[in-house]
Amino acid sequence: HPVETIRSAEIQDAVTLREKVIIHAKLSDKKVAESILDKAAKLEFMAKEEGTATEGLHIRIKKLILRGAIGIRKGTGKEEITLDLERYDPGLIALIGPNGNGKTALMEQLHPFLQIFTRPGSLQNHFELKDSFRDLYFIDERTGTDYRAFLQIDGAGEKGSIECFLYHKLKGSNEWTVISDLITGRQAGYEQEIKRLFGSVSLFLQSAFTSQKPAKVILDGKTIKLDLSEATKGMKKALFNELIGNGYLQTYSENAKNEKDIKAKELIGDKAKIEMLEEQTKAGPEKRGDLLLLISSKDTTTMQFESIKKKGMEIKEQVSALSIKVDKNKEIRSSIDNATKEITSYQDEITTLESNVVKYNVALDGKESTEKKLQDLEDLKTQVVKLNEEQTKYLTERDRLNTEYGNKKQIISDNERALQNEKTLVEKDIMGIQGSWDAQEVERRILDKDIIALEKGDCALIGLECPAKDNVMYKVKLEEKQGRYSDIQEMIKNFDILVVNLYKKIGIIDIKVDALEWPEEPKHDTFNLDIINDVQNKINWIDEPALRAT
């Protein structure tokens, strides 16, 4: 239906879910509440935070540079080739050539995935040089953002290591930057970002890439064949949703369902609160009866208080009568007190005399005990000196170990800082080379157009009337541009080699940083100060002058 086709296209081209909802309402002659738009924005934000929403880009491949590809070398005899698709006009591009000339090998590399789809073996198995690489350039035609997927492949090693990098360059910018923090050279982060840009491998193989034989793909560690004709209804539905960009609807639907479940749980809690309040309301009459009972108890307690107060006044009168009798007995009590003081004075004199007798006995009998106490005192002093020496030795050794640890840690820190500074300089060199590469690429494209025009016989470039193919100036101009074109191609090739080598240098620096061995913090045995304090307290408790005086 034409209207539905226009509606789907406009909705698909919209960037945010809020915009998609507005367009759908406008084309359907419906009004949409602002609260609905706010909910759409919230669902989209939640999906992006969880990493479940994809970009939905419009990808067009611009250029491919291959080095060390086995199929290309067998077919063309070249270790490195460059396929610049921007040299050709828009439309269908056909690769024509005899069998074994490298056509399939080239097509197998015109994508950013880390797989070979129609031939056995891993991607690394199809490269043979130690410095092999695949450098793929593509663009999102909707935003104008350029992307570069660069794979550094060791085709000569037994294990065939591979480092993966993904860069982007915003429209109007000349600077390539890493697309996200996930890009570190490892495959996992690279594959996650490629899926966000390109979609799933199954979508690519069942829509953009077709072959005579069903393509093979590795999913969840298993190699399977993808054939659209044998796909189930569910598989086809998932494929077409992803193909037309409706995958976001499922993502937002799941987030909306989760939000609904949360609200449902909150509603259950609110209902429970309402039921509890209703129960409390029903219990109101019973509570009122309890209140009346408490008021009655209060009146009874007031009567009891008045009774006790009356008894208290009676007891107060009895106390006053007894006070008169106490005053009469004060004289007798005074006489008794005087007698008691005299007895106490005599008792103090007796106690003093008894104390003197004890002292004389101690002086006579405790001479040997005093000498032993003085010897114990000297032993304690000797022990304190020894313990203080051990503490000093412990503190000195601890300070030495801490200083040694600090020096080693500072050396490692300085080495790490130096390596990071070296890495920063290398990255600046890469940026400078990339700028020069872009400038040479612009000039190369201009020369390419001029050469094609001259080969067709366009004389406007040399200011002569046609035909001018036999003209000397024409031939000189053509040879001059062809020579400059070759020089620029060689310069671009050298720039690519320099960039690859610089990235290798960065890898070596990262390995050195990871290999830095940080010293372990020293572990010290604790020194028990309680022993010194205990001995010192024993010394303080001994009255040395008194002992020596005896």
Q: What is the pLDDT of residues 211-224, one digit of tens each?
A: 666 666 665 555 55
Q: Is residue 340 part of a domain?
A: no
- Report the C-alpha gap between 93 and 62 in whole angstroms: 13
Exposure string for 97-134, b = 16+ CB within 10 A, e = fewer:
eeeebbbbbbebbebbbbbbbeeeeebbebbbbebbbb
Residues 29 and 160 occupy one common structural domain? no
Q: What is the DSSP letter of 133?
A: E
Give, for 136, the enclosing helix (H) or strand (E).
strand 132-140
Residue 315 lies in a domain: no
> According to the model, what pLDDT value does residue 187 have?
94
Same domain? 416 vs 509: yes
Q: Are residues 184 and 74 in the same domain?
A: yes
Do residues 204 and 89 both lie within one domain?
yes
CA distance 493 to 500: 11
Mark whether 34 and 131 lie in a shared domain. no
Looking at the chain, the whole-number percentage of residues with pLDDT higher than 90 is 30
């002292």: which residue's tokens? 359
Extract long-range pairs of 502-506: CB within 8 Å, 24+ residues apart.
Answer: 502/426, 502/429, 502/430, 502/433, 503/152, 503/163, 503/165, 503/430, 504/152, 505/426, 506/423, 506/426, 506/427
CA angle 380, 381, 384 (to 5 degrees): 85
Select from 231, 258, 285 the last residue of a domain: 258
Residue 296: inside a domain, yes or no? no
Mean pLDDT of the 410-416 span:
92
Per-residue pLDDT at 209: 74
Radius of gyration over every alpha carbon of the chain, rounded to an integer in angstroms: 49
The answer as to whether 508 is a domain residue is yes
CA distance 127 to 159: 12
Question: What domain count does the chain have?
Answer: 3
Give the contacts of 427 (CB within 8 A, at least 6 positions apart).
506
Same domain, 101 and 223: yes
Sheet holding 145-153, edge to edge: 80-84, 59-67, 132-140, 145-153, 162-169, 177-178
pLDDT digits (tens, 9 = 90+) for 319-350: 566 556 555 555 545 654 664 566 455 455 54
pLDDT of 21-37, one tens digit each? 787 778 777 787 887 78
Q: Could you tell me if 513 and 491 lie in one domain? A: yes
Same-domain check for residues 17 and 119? no
* Cβ atoms of 36 and 235 closer than 8 Å: no
Q: What percentage of the chain reaches a pLDDT higher than 70? A: 64
Mean pLDDT of the chain: 77
Same domain, 80 and 16: no
The dihedral formed by the CA atoms of 299, 300, 306 and 312, expressed in degrees to the nearest 10: -140
Tell me the longest C-alpha to C-alpha distance in the chain. 161
Kind plus residue range of the DSSP H or E element containing 163: strand 162-169
Residue 265 lies in a domain: no
- Considering the domain architecture, whether residues 119 and 40 belong to the same structural domain is answered as no
Tens of pLDDT, residue by residue over 147-169, are 999 999 999 988 889 999 999 99
Amino acid at 473: M
> For residue 187, what are the domain limits?
59-258
- Residue 317 located in a structural domain: no
Burial 318-347 (b: 16+ CB within 10 A, else e): eeeeeeeeeeeeeeeeeeeeeeeeeeeeee
How big is the CA angle at 33 (ends 32 and 39), to the nearest 5 degrees? 105
Q: Which of these, 522, 504, 520, 518, lies nearest to 416 by C-alpha position?
A: 518
Q: What single letter denotes the amino acid at residue 502?
A: L
Same domain, residue pair 387 and 246: no
Determine, yes or no, domain membership for 70: yes
Identify the top-confidence range among 172-181, 258-267, 392-401.
Answer: 172-181
Question: Full-prediction pTM beyond 0.85?
Answer: no
| Domain CATH number, residue 198 | 3.40.50.300
pLDDT tens sequence across 103-117: 989 999 999 999 888
Q: Which of 230, 258, 286 is the last residue of a domain?
A: 258
**Does residue 541 fall inside a structural domain?**
no
Q: 19 and 63, same structural domain?
A: no
At which of 205, 237, 258 does a domain end? 258
